[in-house]
Amino acid sequence: MTRDLCPYCLRPPEEGAGPTRDHVFVRALGGRTQVWCCRDCNSTVGHDIEGPLQKPGELLNLVAQVRGVGRAIPGTLSAADEPITYDLATTELRFAKPVAVEQDGDQRTYELRGSPKQVRRILRDQGLDSETADRLIAGARHNDMADQWITTTVAHNLALAHRLVAKVAIGAGELAFGEAFTGGRLGACLRDVLWARATITEQRDPALLVKYDRVFANSMPGISFPRLAPGPGESQVVFVPLKGRTIVIVHIAGVILGAGLVLDAALPAWVELPVLVRDRQGGADIHDLAVCLLDGVVGS
């Protein structure tokens, strides 16, 4: 890892508001591995790519919610065709319009809908102290919504996802291959995708990682290879050489970003088998399967 050039724009960091550390795998989703880059690129990627992909209703926000972070999921409740949000982390249900009023002659009935936390907040806003609010909640008629369904729509912007794949792959590639990657043809292709100067025209089924795992396990049972298919919640990049081209497959917190992107550029000449870069505390785990094979043969 070097501070000489930003891997995302190839400028000296001083030309981009100075050097800073960037989380290769999205920090909000548990990413820990870091590389040096310029502040301008770090800020732009966060604002234009990572931020929009984590808005409520987006796939990565749902992933964050499953991890106990992120923002409440928007949707509708089956018993009431009106907007609600549901927080998986706190199990709190919130109505967009939590106060309903019914008028029957001179009698007016107020219905407060939502979680106890939301109702207390409404009563507090009306000037009631906590003790009075708790007494009213305890004496109110409660409707159990445990048997209701929440309907939500999850979006995934593939154009932004491909840009995020490119960003993650650039950072991981610098860690795995150094300047031969960052300043080479493959690094340039990924930067074109990152900054929307090029689009992806070919993709591969990410299930090929499972096929690789099976091939290595069955054909070389005495040699221990790292598993390429990610486990639950794992963030990683796999670079797969493909006859002068490269397949890049990125998982964030166990979720595939798009499919395997095929780039019209080769990995460094010495790379003949897939290379895995997996996020870990204190830095990435980097596994070149060709080296694993050689070590296994020599050690056997």
The pLDDT value recorded for residue 145 is: 67
Domain's final residue, options 151, 183, 199: 151
What are the structure tokens assigned to 266, written together? Answer: 């080769």
CB atoms within 10 A of CB 39: 15
Query: What is the residue type of 14?
Result: E
The pLDDT value recorded for residue 1 is: 39
Spell out a b/e string for 116-148, using b for 16 or more CB atoms within 10 Å of the CB, else e.
eebbbebbeeeeeeeeebeeeeeeeeeeebeee
Query: What is the residue type of 143?
Result: N
45 and 91 inside one domain: no
105 and 235 inside one domain: no
What are the start-end ranges of the E strands in 105-186? 107-112, 150-151
The domain of 85 spans: 73-151
Number of folded domains that form the chain: 2
Give the end-to-end CA distance of the chain in Å, rounded to a whole number: 33
Which secondary-structure segment (H or E) carries 294? helix 289-299
24 and 128 inside one domain: no
Residue 296 has pLDDT above 70, yes or no: no
Average model confidence (pLDDT) for the chain?
88
Share of the chain above pLDDT 70, in %: 94
pTM equals: 0.85
114 and 129 inside one domain: yes
24 and 44 inside one domain: yes
CB atoms within 10 A of CB 282: 7
Residue range 68-111, pLDDT digits in tens: 888 999 998 887 677 888 898 888 888 887 777 677 887 767 67
